[in-house]
Amino acid sequence: MKTIYLDNNATTQMAPEVIEIMQESYALYGNASSMHSLGRESMVAIEAARSSVARMIGADGAEIIFTSGGSESDNTVLMLARDMIDEGSKRHRIVTSTIEHPAIIETCQYLEKKGYHIDYVNVDASGRIDSDSFAQLMGDDVLLVSIMAGNNETGTIQDIQKLTQIAHAAGALMHTDAVQAIGKMETDVRQWGVDYLSLSGHKFYGPKGVGALYVRKGAPFKAFVKGGHQEDGNRAGTYNTAAIVGMGRAADLVFETSVQERQNLWYLREKLRTGLQAAIPNVVVNGHPTLCLPGTLNVSFAGAEGESILLMLDFEGIAVSTGSACATGSLEPSYVLLAGGLDVELAHGSIRFSLGRYNTESDIDYVLEKMPTIIRRLREISTR
């Protein structure tokens, strides 16, 4: 059976170019921190990757710290803020949003339990942060702001440049979780003006288990993972050479092709959206109609539950994800969808299609062929 992978916001398949360069770099077994030639060879490869990652986001190589991925990068920034507060910073408040990735939101809740002061800005029905309500949360006691660039579930994009200006005007540091944004929208740290930015290799056709944190030159920083001199003492741990090199190659591909790729993704996404709306009654599109990551389409089907839709699609070889509670084991569906005020029942019936580099028009045709029957069948079974 053919596989149509439409879950690219969960993870992407590695680019063949990435696999190729990683296979070569597995031979670079020298510890990149060693002084001998074998070690230096590894370090040269790592530094090349650092330049590639930096170039992709408009940064300097010296501003890139390699990490194990987005979650570590996010945790690093929040724990940095905690340390600064503990060490007597006059600013002691952290502001974030209600739709952040769990790596931010759950870590903030953890800090809250320990007595730290966190404020959460809400979003409107399209998933956008209103800059006025955001500005109202600012003040001279805010140390750090963390707002994601593009949402993993709805795809809704925030105006990071504007939010950064507001945060900076209040004297706060600005972090953005750009894990979903990389390759899918213009991501330029200078243009945005952010102090910190998290990214993850496997979301842009690189390997899993590797990511980076951008730290603006001059921004405060302290190691989160301690105990080694790697990354100038900013992140301990023996270098995962092959993974870093793979992410570097993936970053080059983003730099070279992403503008064109984005146009294609949006074309396919819109084809899918209009096709679903034409063929199926009672389809609700979640998120912002245009300010959206180009490959993400989040839709709700009234009267059909998300996990059932997901599994029926799975039998047809189509991989998607859902915001239904049933799929997570809790009784609550997606907090991101609920934060935007979506009806609970519709949140249970939500499906996220996330398209990627390797999807084709015929993939979309196939989904459009299968989807109406699946929804009709589930609605027939359903208590109406």
What residues are labeled active site?
A: 326
Coil, helix or strand at residue 116: coil
Helix (H) or strand (E) holding 118: strand 117-121
Which residue in the set 305, 318, 350, 357 belongs to the binding site for another protein (CB under 8 A)? 305
Query: Is residue 274 involved in binding another protein (CB under 8 A)?
Result: no
Stretch that binds another protein, among 156-164, 226-234, 297-305, 363-371 (CB under 8 A): 297-305
Residue count at the site for another protein (CB under 8 A)? 24
Residue 352 in contact with residue 321, Cβ under 8 Å? yes
Residues 82, 216, 348, 357: which binds another protein (CB under 8 A)? 348
Among 67, 308, 321, 359, binds another protein (CB under 8 A): 308
Q: Which of 366, 357, 375 is nearest to 294 (CA)?
A: 357
Q: How far apart are CA 224 and CA 311, in angstroms?
A: 40
The residue from 33, 34, 109, 382 that contacts another protein (CB under 8 A) is 382
325 binds another protein (CB under 8 A): yes
> Could you say whether residue 341 binds another protein (CB under 8 A)?
no
Which one of 10-18, 60-68, 114-122, 339-347 is the stretch in contact with another protein (CB under 8 A)? 339-347
Rounded to whole angstroms, the Cα distance separating 354 from 293 reads: 9
Strand partners, 156: 292
Query: Which residue stretches of 213-303 are H helix?
Result: 230-233, 241-279
Taking the least distance from each CB to another protein, the nearer of 284 and 326 is 326
Name the residue nearer to another protein (CB basis): 270 or 345. 345
Rule CB under 8 A: is residue 36 a binding residue for another protein? no
Distance CA 99, CA 302 (A): 23
Considering the complex, state which of residue 270 and residue 314 has its C-beta at the smaller distance from another protein.
314
The one among 315, 362, 365, 369 contacting another protein by CB under 8 A: 315
- H-type alpha helices, 127-240: 131-137, 160-169, 189-192, 230-233
- Find how far residue 229's CA is from the centre of its chain: 28
Whether residue 193 contacts residue 161, with contact meaning beta carbons closer than 8 Å, is answered with yes
Binding flag, residue 326, another protein (CB under 8 A): yes
Of 336, 335, 322, 296, give the one whose Cα is nearest residue 378: 322
Beta carbon nearer to another protein, 278 or 311: 311
**35 scored as a contact of another protein (CB under 8 A):** no
Which residues would be at the binding site for another protein (CB under 8 A)?
A: 303-308, 311, 315, 324-327, 329, 331, 333, 343-345, 348, 380-384
